[in-house]
Structure 1
Amino acid sequence: MDELPIGRRVAYWRGQRKMSQQVFADRIGRSKSWVDKVERGDRRLDKFSMLYQIAVVLQIDVAMLLDRDLERGSTALGSYEQRELDDLRQALERSAPAAAIGRAPATPLHELAQSVNHAWLTYQYARYGVLVRGLPGLLRDSRAADAYHRGDAGRQAASLHGQVLQIASSALRKFGESELARLAADRAIGSALRAEDELLAAIATSRMANALLAMGRARPAFEANMVMAQRLAPADPGAADPARLSVYGSLLLQAAMAAARLGDNEGVRELFRLADEAARVLGGDRNEYWTSFGPTNVELHRAAAAVELGEGRQAVAIHENQIDHRALAALLPERRAHHLLDLARGYLLVGETGHAGEALVEADRVAPWEIRGRPIAHELMADILRRTKGAAPALVTDLATQMGARV
């Protein structure tokens, strides 16, 4: 990660806000010397909590500090570079806690927790360039904390490290790095067990299952989700804790996606019946354990499962008639853009190429990083261009150019 441009950006925006180094330092709780070193590129700036704090003080989006695409235009990989992905891979390969035994953590647990919270938000806002650049440092910090602390602090540290591994797993799966995603999720399960957090372990298992599904292993993915769902199934859903109900419902949705990949229509229907029941009891869309589970997400997965079953018309009908679009607009960008990708696939299944292009353009408007940095989105764009008769609409052509596709 090239730190000098980040420091220059901090200096630029500080100047735009007419703040002296001392005033800026006071507002972020650091020394003037610290600010000077950051702006000269002599000090690393890769902690999520500090990046977000600086962005708040400077009144800018954090992406303006880190996403170099804002300056140079999009690349084929979207918002990150292969070198940065390699850095994440290396950090993950060294993420076993045993590698950090004996090292006192440099980051206090409360600050680490704040950084993990920001990393989750960065993922759910689909800011993948920011995420890839910050995750290696967060993996190192959380690994050190996990290896060092004991007792209650040790369980908290294990939970935080497990969450970072889950974020890495989800991001890597989106980048097409399924085997690395599986490795990260597997380690996240171990961390969750050390944290003695059954729900965290269940979600980590589901992320491992998602990686298996991406690798074409639908049967073990289905079984892994079902084992955990059955373990968490409430005897009385009405009396269940919202977090447990959310994790349980999320497992059902992921199992339904695996069942759809297996062509099990009856199994898909039954799983959505159970998920519907859990969502109704929950009463609305929530984000317990970062699952985004609720009635709206159930419908988004129902549409996605229809696409997997080859039922494009049904997927489009679900989008048009069953999804509460106000509730959809209230979801975080990653979920909304992901759904629009599924909708574009549904339109292609029924030969409506123009609508597929419109859905992809809308997805890019919601979350550019979800479209420009994901292999599946590039494949979808190529398919749209191949099927378009004559010249593609201007907005589709513009997006294809920005994605690096041949028009």
Structure 2
Amino acid sequence: MDELPIGRRVAYWRGRRRLSQQVFADRLGKSKSWVDKVERGVRRLDKFSVLHEIADVLQLDVQLLLGKDPERRTDTLNCIDQVEVEEIRAALERYDSMSAYFDARPEPRRLDEMRKSVSHAWLTYQYARYGVLTRALPKLLRDAQAADAAYLGGDESRTAAHLLGQVYQIASSTLRKLGEHELAWLAADRSMAVSQRADDPLLAGVATLRVGNALVALGRARPALEVNVNIANRLAPAPGVEASPQRWSVYGMLLLQGAMAAARLGDSATVRDLFNGAEEAARQVGDDQNHYWTSFGPTNLELHRAAAAVELGEGRQAVDTHEGIGPTEFNALLPERRAHHLLDVARGCAQIGDVARAGEFLVEGDRLAPSEIRCRPIAHEVMSDVLRRTRGAPPGQIAELAEHMGVGI
């Protein structure tokens, strides 16, 4: 980004904020032609007052427009910016284990400290604090990679690999949420490779979930379905043999993610079959649990059932499924799961033409986990649809949320 002309930087960040040239111009009090000339480099931006106005509208540090390193933000409602993307990319491009093969191994962090950091990162993800997480991920990735390289071949090798595999999974899930699908796939693929060295089939199973999710996001639903079902079959508890809740949880989540991929393909028969298998796994687990950070259980299964209905274009079924979920069970789930579900139900409402209720679900999801609504591209699409189809001015809460999201009214 540093080498780009300032007009190109303005265009880039305007695109990241999902603002059309007209909406951007209106917020600046300028004409669309003025914005177009700035972005094409025809008109120079040589007044700091104008630069600061542009930065305010784009909700970023003015230093980014000047091609300089910004002051680090501290609020939790920011999404991911190119600065974070490039830092995470750089961390993913490290090959510490290969370097350690030739040279002296670096001094790593203690594994008990790493374990605490990884657990904190998981909770940060499951509470949908994506702005905090994207700023922490580059260092966490570097630390986990260094530990994996340093302990390679030693007594703690499997533990270090397990932690690195988890960090790759956290990175993959976060990047996918924020629309960085190629990087999400890379991190998930790394997780699968490392999980094999950790010698933990369940960790490898969860890594498969991340790969499948990234493939679906990339428009590759068929291979996503195949990989989820293939590994689910390998982890399926044998009939008559008692299995741990952890195994049932990972197995059940693989079936649910396979169902989501099948729904994307429009294969309702396969969706139904996979949900039948997941129901048995949920019965074995009992209440919703967070084994291997899956949040798997009967309630999460219903959330996926609603999401699959949306993918199949059956918005009414998605809404009906939501209304059948008990409030006590729903409120016991972590914020990311609940807000994600409310976004899915908003999509279902939009499918059946109930845009008013769709907007209400977006607002409710924003109260639970703002980043899940304000940072996800799919949420921006739903909000744009709500605004476009609302007659007259939208209700105040929806208009305010749209403003926060940068979606033009």
TM-score tier by shorter-chain length is: 0.7 to 0.9
Q: Does the 8 A contact of 1:69 with 1:79 survive in 2?
A: no
Residue 238 (structure 2) pairs with residue 235 (structure 1): yes
Q: Does the 8 A contact of 2:147 with 2:160 survive in 1?
A: yes
Q: Secondary structure at the match of 2:366?
A: helix
Q: By how many angstroms is 1:309 displaced?
A: 0.4
Residue 290 (structure 2) pairs with residue 284 (structure 1): no
2: CA distance, partners of 1:358 / 1:261: 25
Distance of aligned partners of 1:162 and 1:95 in 2 relative to their CA distance in 1, 3 Å threshold: farther
Counterpart position of 1:15: none
Counterpart position of 2:93: 93
Q: Does the 8 A contact of 2:79 with 2:178 survive in 1?
A: no
Q: Does the 8 A contact of 1:249 with 1:279 survive in 2?
A: yes
Aligned pairs (5 A) from 1:2-401 = 68-69=74-75, 78-94=78-94, 97-99=97-99, 101=101, 102-149=104-151, 150-236=153-239, 239-321=242-324, 323-401=325-403
Q: By how many angstroms is 1:151 displaced?
A: 3.4
Q: Does the 8 A contact of 1:205 with 1:225 survive in 2?
A: yes
Normalised to the residue count of structure 1, the TM-score between the two structures is 0.80
Distance of aligned partners of 1:387 and 1:95 in 2 relative to their CA distance in 1, 3 Å threshold: farther
Q: By how many angstroms is 1:271 displaced?
A: 0.7
Counterpart position of 2:64: none
2: CA distance, partners of 1:237 / 1:265: 30
Q: By how many angstroms is 1:237 displaced?
A: 7.0
2: CA distance, partners of 1:87 / 1:316: 40
Q: By how many angstroms is 1:192 displaced?
A: 0.6
Counterpart position of 1:27: none
Q: By how many angstroms is 1:206 displaced?
A: 1.5
Q: By how many angstroms is 1:99 displaced?
A: 4.2
Q: Does the 8 A contact of 1:238 with 1:281 survive in 2?
A: no
Q: By how many angstroms is 1:83 displaced?
A: 1.0
Identity %: 61
Counterpart position of 1:52: none
2: CA distance, partners of 1:327 / 1:98: 47
Q: Render the CA deviation track for 1:281-317: whole Å, top value 9, x for unaligned.
A: 1111000000000000000000000000000000000
2: CA distance, partners of 1:161 / 1:256: 28
Q: What letter corresponds to residue 366 of structure 1 in structure 2?
A: L
Q: Does the 8 A contact of 2:96 with 2:146 survive in 1?
A: no
Q: By how many angstroms is 1:148 displaced?
A: 1.0
2: CA distance, partners of 1:112 / 1:157: 9
Q: Secondary structure at the match of 1:293?
A: coil
Counterpart position of 1:36: none
Q: Render the CA deviation track for 1:216-270: whole Å, top value 9, x for unaligned.
A: 1110000000000000111237721111110000000000001111111111111
Q: Secondary structure at the match of 2:156?
A: helix
Q: Secondary structure at the match of 2:255?
A: helix
Q: Render the CA deviation track for 1:105-155: whole Å, top value 9, x for unaligned.
A: 341010001100000000000010110011100111110110111333010
Q: Secondary structure at the match of 2:223?
A: helix
Q: Does the 8 A contact of 1:105 with 1:141 survive in 2?
A: no
Q: By how many angstroms is 1:80 displaced?
A: 3.5
2: CA distance, partners of 1:190 / 1:308: 30
Distance of aligned partners of 1:301 and 1:99 in 2 relative to their CA distance in 1, 3 Å threshold: farther
Q: Does the 8 A contact of 2:248 with 2:281 survive in 1?
A: yes
Q: What letter corresponds to residue 68 of structure 1 in structure 2?
A: T
Q: Does the 8 A contact of 2:108 with 2:150 survive in 1?
A: no
2: CA distance, partners of 1:234 / 1:377: 37
1: CA distance, partners of 2:189 / 2:99: 17
Aligned residues: 335
Q: What letter corresponds to residue 147 of structure 2 in structure 1?
A: A
Q: Does the 8 A contact of 1:95 with 1:139 survive in 2?
A: no
2: CA distance, partners of 1:121 / 1:388: 37
Q: What letter corresponds to residue 138 of structure 1 in structure 2?
A: L
